Amino acid sequence: MPRTLGLIGSGNIGTAVARLAITAGWDVVLSNSRGPETLTDLVTDLGDKARAATPADAARAGDLVVATVPLYAYDKLPVDALAGKTVLDTLNYYPARDGRIAELDANDLTSSALLQRSLPGSRVVKVFNNIGAHQLFTLARPAGAPDRSALPIAGDDPAAKKEAADLLDALGWDAVDTGTLAESWRSEPETPVYVKPYAGESPAGLSPLEWFGWMQGTPGVTVPAARVRELTESAVRGPAGGVVPEGATFPERR
């Protein structure tokens, strides 16, 4: 039976997930904040199995829905249209982009628990948040391949986690269940499993900006399930959003 993936957000990660889903035989419905007409080029590039819609229509169309917007927009998602759905959450907290969110700064909540609270009728599963969009694509492998990599998933609803794991499997990835949304800090930014293991060893002496440019083009290295488990289990919780440099200022939330 054909399945449909709804995407709210069609940037780096949304596009990579959409491409993999189409390769796996899914239909995709893309959306963004500016309107479906701004996604024409992307839809043309993705081909017949893609179309564009509003976020609410993408949510309604999806058998599964990926929320892949900047965290500052977490409370602008279509709550009613997402009710009853499993929502795959790629969001990461970057205060320099998102503004400061006191409950996250205090580690009272993980970012995924914050999203779950704003989508009370949905089943949120954290996934796809700890890998660069390029490596998500280049490291995908068929089931059983010796160099298959894994991604962590976290959520409060076992059936929703199974849906997420099944999607990952179809897209070319193993899944490692790292627990509940409260425990999902184990794959947030600055943790051992975040982005770097998949990118691999970078050339020496890169500035942070140069490293970012390198990371966006490097094919990456295999990170098998056992290594993902090791990395997530070794994580120590630090301040969400990272250590704030003295004198740093942050944008107001939009």
Ligand X SMILES: NC(=O)c1ccc[n+]([C@@H]2O[C@H](COP(=O)([O-])OP(=O)(O)OC[C@H]3O[C@@H](n4cnc5c(N)ncnc54)[C@H](OP(=O)(O)O)[C@@H]3O)[C@@H](O)[C@H]2O)c1
**Site for ligand X, residues 89 to 108, rule: CB under 6 A:** 90-92
**Smallest gap, in angstroms, from Cβ of residue 199 to ligand X?**
10
Q: Classify burial at 94, counting beta carbons within 10 Å of its beta carbon; exposed 0-12, middle 13-18, buried 19 or more.
A: middle
Tell me if 62 contacts ligand X by CB under 6 A.
no
Nearest 10 degrees: Cα torsion 92, 136, 200, 233: 60
Q: How many other C-beta atoms are found inside a 10 Å radius of the C-beta of residue 225?
A: 16
What is the C-alpha separation between 190 and 237, in angstroms, rounded? 9
With b meaning 16 or more CB within 10 Å and e meaning fewer, what string describes 196-210? bbbbeeeeeeeeeee
Tell me if 32 contacts ligand X by CB under 6 A.
yes
**Smallest gap, in angstroms, from Cβ of residue 146 to ligand X?**
26
**Smallest gap, in angstroms, from Cβ of residue 43 to ligand X?**
13
What is the C-alpha separation between 73 and 50, in angstroms, rounded? 24
Going residue by residue from 126 to 145, which x/- string records binding to ligand X, judged by CB under 6 A? Answer: ---x--xx------------
What is the C-alpha separation between 122 and 115, in angstroms, rounded? 10
Tell me if 187 contacts ligand X by CB under 6 A.
no
Tell me if 112 contacts ligand X by CB under 6 A.
no
Segment contacting ligand X (CB under 6 A): 62-70, 139-147, 202-210, 232-240? 62-70
What is the C-alpha separation between 245 and 236, in angstroms, rounded? 20
Tell me if 14 contacts ligand X by CB under 6 A.
yes
Tell me if 12 contacts ligand X by CB under 6 A.
yes
Applying CB under 6 A, the residues found at the interface with ligand X are 8-14, 31-34, 55, 68-71, 73, 76, 90-92, 129, 132-133
